[in-house]
Structure 1
Amino acid sequence: MAKKARRVDLDHLKQAVDEIVARMDVIEDFGKAADHLEGLGDIETDRFAITVATVDGDLVSGGDTDVPFAIQSISKVFALTLALRAYGDEVWKRVGREPSGDPFNSIVDLERHKGIPRNPFINPGALVVCDIVLGRPKDHGGHADVRAFLEHHVGEKTLGRLKEIVTEDGKSAGYLNRAMANLAKAFDNLHHDVEAVMKLYVEQCAIELTCRQLALAGRYLMHDGIDGNGEDPDVDAKLSRRLNALMMTCGQYDGSGEFAYRVGLPAKSGVGGGILAIAPDTASIAVWSPTLDENGNSLLGTLALEQLTTRMGWSVFG
């Protein structure tokens, strides 16, 4: 039996979003954008945006919601969706499901566990997931890649691409990611050429979405795989629940526990400043602000989500 969607008081939501935007506007000198990746360090740090897509089909937005940003590691959720739909629990033979106590780009844990990444949302885990996606049979029946998946769920064919992140030969993602990919391959947990895996990885990280588009993209996670945009072979109820569980425990890197304590929602962040959060059976929420904390998560975005869940009573913990 399908779960019953939770109706949203639209007037209350609009008031909450307006008040949150007003509060974010008065916060100054809150940090800096990521400067370890080309194209991110020069973004204006006073930007803020929020969009809430409700299970009723409404969109409520505020701030710079039409400004595109690179989704970066949020793409890992969509790549994992493709991998799980194709192979199911076979994926977990090559990637773990536990939170990591190390930074998202640490290579130490990968060596400690002989090429098996701790979870799919840290960089080595995402690289193995990309390798799995590359290995799908030609008749897998799903979307070709993350971009195609997002085009379907957003309902638009003109998604952007931050060219500074990726060059045509795919070599701008950094030596550290290649080191992790090579280490995984040394332990026989990467089956394709490292450069092929890197190309797929940096291409999906470079996809640009607005807050509105990101909230639309996450709708399949909020209510049993249903997104209101037509049937999709890559999503179902069981899969969306599994993804939400992983987002809750691992989606904010080494800040996942703090995020669960403050916000209480499954979510995935990216160093481009975006966060996709899911209020199960209720809403898909996208926030964006490029200033980051020490774990690589958006500072204002986290604060805004904490205020939103408090105002709306959306924490999964009651």
Structure 2
Amino acid sequence: MSSIAAIVAEIAEEMRGETERGAVASYIPPLACISPDKFGIAVVMVDGTVHAAGDAQEPFSIQSISKVFALTLALGAVGDQLWRRVGREPSGSAFNSIVQLESEQGIPRNPFINAGAIVLCDVLLGRSEPREAIGQMVRFVRTLAGDDEGSIRIDEAVALAEQDTGFRNMALANYMRAFGNIHAPVERVLGVYFHFCALAMTCCELAMAGRYLMNGGRVDGHSIITPSRARRINALMMSCGHYDNSGDFAFRVGLPGKSGVGGGILSIVPGVASIAVWSPGLNGSGNSQLGTLALERLVQRTGWSVFEPRA
């Protein structure tokens, strides 16, 4: 067993003993039913080696982690024109805040808050039908993860619950529509958004899907995006990937990362590893409490922080 495998197994065992596990996202009923005792971790190395422990093979709702893949697709669709409609700065506000939209003329601060991701969905919808945009996302993530069996899917029960409880997201979309930054009918854009958030994946699949960001935009010898675009997406994950908790995550972990209220975190060590952790209990900012702790311990034991000097 390699040292990384030993560290991963050790961390999973430590997480089993933690008593402060956070609170699950109760405002989405299917997520409220998930046991806070769950914990999974998967690390995919640049050579393709996979180290996993805990509940790493159990599917969970990736929620806002899907925004990383939506951003990649939107940049592929419209390139840097995207930045006319979405900013690149940390928000300093909650993921579903509407406060800044009025003073900033309906332009979301970044693509990883809810308002920004709704604009991404509007871009990807274009003149297509929602089912086509949703299908494009599912195929893209399956390709990234090497999911030949099609096990990565949309959890329709979660998507329906998102729609039934997503009043604040509806407000965000309508507000941006009033400023002219949402072009398609709001209900169609939100249908795409809710389905993106309802993607269900395992830690192993999610870590595999993040390989292109670890490897300069390439997967299995094929170019997915340019190295400069991969670098910029990683930069946005570092500065904006954990909402108003992004600074603390950078301080504690020191890696690009994107969280979701399903309890998952995708984190990237450029040139080294793609990491996925999952524990459904959240801290006060809506990020996985044990997932963050596990990543902090992983970085402490490996020296993988991007702020560590390289030999």
Q: Please classify the TM superposition score into its range, dividing by the shorter chain length.
A: over 0.9
Cα gap change, 1:268 to 1:136, in 2 (>3 Å): farther
Instruction: Say if 2:139 is the partner of 1:161.
Output: no
- Residues 1-318 of structure 1: pairs in structure 2 closer than 5 A: 11-135=2-126, 145-156=136-147, 157-167=150-160, 171-228=163-220, 231=222, 234-318=224-308
Find the aligned partners of 1:282 and 1:316 in 2 and give their Cα distance. 11
Shift of 1:136: 7.2
| Deviation per residue, 1:134-176 (Å, 9 max, x gap) | 12789xxx995321111111122221332332239x8325111
Cα gap change, 1:29 to 1:303, in 2 (>3 Å): closer
SS of residue paired to 1:145: helix
SS of residue paired to 1:275: strand
Q: Given residue 11 of structure 1, which amino acid in structure 2 is its aligned partner?
A: S
Find the aligned partners of 2:228 and 2:250 in 1 and give their Cα distance. 22
* 8 Å Cα contact 2:266/2:275 also seen in 1: yes
SS of residue paired to 1:53: strand
| Deviation per residue, 1:213-272 (Å, 9 max, x gap) | 0000000000111122x635x522121111000000000010000000000000000000
* 8 Å Cα contact 2:259/2:266 also seen in 1: yes
CA RMSD in angstroms comes to: 1.9
Give the aligned length. 303
TM-score, structure 2 normalization:
0.93
* 8 Å Cα contact 2:134/2:195 also seen in 1: no
* 8 Å Cα contact 1:96/1:120 also seen in 2: yes
Find the aligned partners of 2:235 and 2:29 in 1 and give their Cα distance. 32
The alignment-based identity, stated in percent, is 51
* 8 Å Cα contact 2:134/2:192 also seen in 1: no
As a proportion of its length, which structure holds more helix? 2
* 8 Å Cα contact 1:20/1:307 also seen in 2: yes
Find the aligned partners of 1:239 and 1:275 in 2 and give their Cα distance. 21
Shift of 1:29: 4.3
Cα gap change, 1:89 to 1:137, in 2 (>3 Å): farther
| Range that drifts further, 85-94 or 255-264 | 85-94
Find the aligned partners of 1:225 and 1:163 in 2 and give their Cα distance. 30
TM-score, structure 1 normalization:
0.91
Runs (4 or more) in structure 1 with deviation over 4 Å come to: none
Q: Given residue 251 of structure 1, which amino acid in structure 2 is its aligned partner?
A: G
* 8 Å Cα contact 1:68/1:160 also seen in 2: no
Unaligned runs of 5+ in 2: none
Q: Given residue 158 of structure 1, which amino acid in structure 2 is its aligned partner?
A: S
